[in-house]
Structure 1
Amino acid sequence: MVNKILIVDDDNRNIFALTAVLRAKGYQCLSAIGGEEAITLLKQNKEIAVVLMDMMMPGMDGYQAMAKMSETPDLKEIPVIAVTAQAMVGDKERCINAGAVGYVSKPINVEELTRLLAIYM
């Protein structure tokens, strides 16, 4: 069973915390600190089942990275769960409309995230 998760976030503390929680639940995690690195890792690692994508990052943000994934045949079927500190009205819809299959706001509710991961892994 492929259970690798790619965590994309420009804050290493968020990557560290998410990785610790997910590894404790039996998932394997890879991480990238931006959209460009995420695309490179996805092209190199065919075992990634789900991407947890921070939406607000310098350089290529989550919206741009999801657009790039949707244009790339090998990557467009990989589900992306948006993980963002933006929790304003309309943010969830914007993420879903941009191609995310799910949305989790920070601080992350681990049960909610685990439930979403169970659907897509």
Structure 2
Amino acid sequence: MTTEKKDVVLIIDDDNCNTFALQLTLKAKGFKFISSSSAIEGLEILDKQPNIGLVLMDMMMPEMDGYQALKIMRASTEYPDLPIIAVTAQAMSGDKEKCIAAGATDYIAKPIDVDILLEILRKYM
């Protein structure tokens, strides 16, 4: 039995500009990534891609927001320890705690500070 290396970042964000900026940053730093424009699609990708090592999850999306997706992901036995980083423009007092309580591993506010993002990626991947 072979074990798949978990070295891909899954970006789940409905904003194409944010996704593009994250892709450029990850590519420039040598990270592999897959992008999803919705939480529903992101969950489907997780089920099909065993090499996802970390998720960057936008918290405010239509249809299913990041909080709902976190709940589903954490209820699954497939990825209970998968690092999921909440990414949100809602950088208000208490938001980090709310994201962590919902199941996020860590939190980063938009606009994303590249140094903080890289520190988080190194910490969890």
- TM-score between both structures, scaled by the size of structure 1: 0.97
Output the CA distance in 2 between the equivalents of 1:72 and 1:32: 19
User: Which of 49, 52, 56 pairs up with 1:48?
Assistant: 52
Gaps of 5+ in 2: none
Match of 1:89 in 2: 93
Regions of 4+ moved over 2 Å: none
Q: Is the 8 A contact 1:9 1:53 kept in 2?
A: yes
Residue identity matched to 2:54: V
Provide, for residues 30-70 of structure 1, a one-character-per-residue CA deviation record: whole Å limited to 9, x for no partner. Answer: 01111111110001000000000000000111000010001
Larger Rg: 2
Q: Is the 8 A contact 2:11 2:56 kept in 1?
A: yes
Q: Are 1:13 and 2:7 matched, yes or no?
A: no
Q: Is the 8 A contact 1:43 1:75 kept in 2?
A: no
CA RMSD in angstroms comes to: 0.9
Q: Are 1:77 and 2:77 matched, yes or no?
A: no
Q: Is the 8 A contact 2:6 2:50 kept in 1?
A: no
Q: Is the 8 A contact 2:8 2:34 kept in 1?
A: yes
Match of 1:111 in 2: 115
Output the CA distance in 2 between the equivalents of 1:3 and 1:47: 6
Q: Structure 1 residue 77: deviation in Å?
A: 1.9
Q: Structure 1 residue 76: deviation in Å?
A: 2.1
Match of 2:30 in 1: 26
Gaps of 5+ in 1: none
Alignment length (residue pairs): 121
Output the CA distance in 2 between the equivalents of 1:2 and 1:26: 14
Output the CA distance in 2 between the equivalents of 1:28 and 1:93: 29
Residue identity matched to 1:66: L
Residue identity matched to 1:54: D
Residue identity over aligned pairs, in percent, reads 50
